[in-house]
């Protein structure tokens, strides 16, 4: 299925897994965080995947492709900030924070690889 090939990208798969883990962990956050930390961390982690989908759609335009990868990386960094706040507030423990942060760092490395090697992901190359 050519239209969903981005789902085969390691960055997408890892980011989706991270987002799912964050969804499960954030379900236990206090109710008063529903429209702040909980919403923010869920949105930023999901946005990494959404931006990768958009990058795939724009891969015929290298500058747009790179811009969407940059957006994805930015959302990934934002997710790491929210993880820090979740730890600071005691909503996740140190071990969970370390695991989720390590996963986010792996996503970041995969996104950086894509940014440095866009030709591997452009039409006719993927």
Distances (CA, A) of 20 to 14, 16, 24, 70, 74: 10, 6, 6, 22, 19
d(CA 105, CA 40): 18
**Cβ–Cβ under 8 Å, residues 45 and 72:** no
Give the pLDDT score at 126.
45
Give the pLDDT score at 88.
98
- Which pLDDT band holds residue 1 (cuts at 50, 70, 90)? very low
Domains of the chain (ranges; CATH) run: 13-120 (1.20.1440.60)
Give the pLDDT score at 3.
66
The model's pTM is 0.92
Look at residue 105 and tell me whether its pLDDT is greater than 50: yes
Q: What is the pLDDT of residues 4-38, one digit of tens each?
A: 789 999 999 999 999 999 999 999 999 999 989 99
Q: What is the pLDDT of residues 69-102, one digit of tens each?
A: 999 999 999 999 999 999 999 999 999 999 999 9
Q: What is the pLDDT of residues 40-63, one digit of tens each?
A: 999 999 999 999 999 999 999 999
Look at residue 2 and tell me whether its pLDDT is greater than 70: no
DSSP 21-85: HHHHHHTTS-GGGIIIIIHHHHHHHHHHHHHHHHHHHTTTSHHHHHHHHHHHHHHHHHHHHHHHH
Name the residue with tokens 């706040």. Answer: 85
């Amino acid at each position: 299925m050519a239209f969903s090939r981005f789902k085969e990208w390691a960055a997408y798969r890892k980011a989706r897994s991270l987002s799912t883990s964050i969804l499960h962990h954030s379900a236990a956050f206090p109710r008063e965080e529903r429209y702040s930390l909980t919403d923010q961390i869920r949105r930023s982690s999901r946005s990494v995947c959404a931006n990768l989908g958009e990058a795939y759609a724009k891969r015929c335009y290298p500058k747009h492709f790179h811009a969407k990868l940059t957006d994805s990386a930015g959302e990934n960094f934002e997710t790491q900030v929210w993880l820090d706040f979740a730890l600071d507030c005691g909503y996740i423990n140190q071990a969970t924070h370390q695991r989720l942060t390590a996963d986010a760092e792996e996503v970041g490395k995969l996104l950086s690889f894509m940014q440095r090697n866009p030709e591997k992901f452009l039409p006719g190359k993927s």
